[in-house]
Chains A and B, each alone.
Chain A
């Protein structure tokens, strides 16, 4: 009895410690966004009169337009990834398309540093007069969102019994109809999770946006980085902008947390 109580107390303490560790930066950022520049010099200052100067500053800086562009990039990227990725994942799951090499290669490509790919993207964007527009950013984001979404969905497609689509074929449908009317509905939860996961990947990317669209078409992370001015980092404003960027991701993660594990482990290479 006493043992289990000690254990319980230990567990609770551990969870609290983990929770505080994770939440501390968020709390710090939230506090920083409502402090004056002078108060920012005292990180341990917890009681003060909040000021919304930083928020006013941020909201008038066009951050919402940048957030809108980020959302647009993420939605287009995810839309394309889900359409192409679900078909790709289906092919890999059902027909072992490309064998083990495909699955492994898809994941291995994630190891490539973005710096390797960004220069070709930039050159192409210049050549097509598309630099500082959202189009090269979308394509750059596709380079890592599409493989991840595809990978994510393989396990979900593998879980659909083959007899379901065979049944649909015998019932009078073409293979593609069987895929669309019978197989796809079974993986909708997976597609939803993959979409949200892909959205956060695109939404959080700074690097490609910074190089491919640094100016008028800046996406949200680039706009946030913009608060690092030649006069120094505007910590208050940046904190407010960071909160704007973080909230959608936190909300999205909450909805997909259970499917996330299934998806990430689902595409695992099986020998």
Chain B
């Protein structure tokens, strides 16, 4: 949340020679981030980002107090000038009956005043509008002005529109209808904090927004000025349910310090007297059943020094904390810290105190030193990341471009049954509903969306998600790719996968696919790892279970002595039926002699396949006779098994 405050307003509570630019710098480094300083006329406007735990900083006073603690650390003098409030004399002309419900409201401060409605003076208007609040009339402006100055929201009723002179605080029952002061109708969800006129009519939605039936108008003569401190969780629930994000709601849901309620009332009365001819007509009511909590925290100064990484003395700790309004005393060897009431919400443990000391001391003053500690786990060089990088780089240098597509897919792109689906309950749109079970559909979409390109080679390495009952799904790292080009060749895609396998130190077995009409299923050591799919003449895809794959990957190489005797190499052209698979023939040739060390298909034309055969004996030179004997054996068996004829 952000707060905008004017420099002139800020300096009403802090005397300092620091320039606005210095104010910005010092606050940003030690407290809340001043995102911008904007010059407005002779004044400057600070736009400050306040974190949600620091609702105490959502006020001019809060920021001034922080500045007071921070600036001296930079060698800038700063004097905090706290506001002084006089309690006005109680009136006797009017009174109101307030019945609180202490379960939901911590404190109520209220008073009835006679007033004159008119425009606010210029300085009020200027300060409000600079801080992003529209000036309406003096009666409403006062409530906003004190909210900005002190940080506690306030409300004003037209007293004459409350004929019962009674306010009963209660929980709403579900379904009650209200009209807020901006004319909008709402149905309350139930358990909201409301004010009732004693006759069942709701006259205020406490801590969030006033209602049309009791709001001040241009005819208002008397007001009920009302400060309520509420249960933050109920405020948040109601505000979210109704979608009313008023500034009061945003502050109240974070828990405003009830100690501030009374000061806020006094400051409001003072302002009504000044700018609305205000006269107190009633007693000053202060119903305070839930006193602000007290909290004491024990810390050791050694621990503070250890976390900061530099030595910091007890006196310096005490100096910093005291300026932040904490009380510090020694207890045994520890420091006992009393937390100020407006910090009870966010200061709970020792670490919170350490943060207070450290930030005011100044993070910028701490040195930068790398930790001198190493991980206790032995590092494995060839982990999954190693293989991922290797494979990605190979594909890159073979002309593939890497895609990153969303893990969630539409119903159209999802492959599988709905009962197998890891489905998102609250999808952002219908394109992102299912966690995908396959990658190829996402890549096909990429190809489709790049129609202008006749040739596309793309790949992705990402998780797919397989449902595992009620447990977390199995996330499987998967590699998929697509080749799109005119007359794309199955062998080109197979070659890519074979070469990947070669680089990973393993061998794949390709079998006719059981899944697709045209394609191959791929196995490593009998484990199924993936698929090549020929979609049409111009489109071939592959998808591999990368996780399964790299179990077989090996970076360790085995040394084989270099052969002492030269090999005999020859090519054998065979006429053989196309129904016989090349791998069967190779296997058959190889099985005939241990001296055949390599067999590969050299080329294929019509029914003729030429095989390249390497004969080698590690212990001696092979003679022509030995080779021809093996050859005869090979030819004979090929003829018997496959009716193959030598050409």
Task: Tell me whether A and B are bound partners.
Answer: no
Residues of A within 8 A of B (CB): none
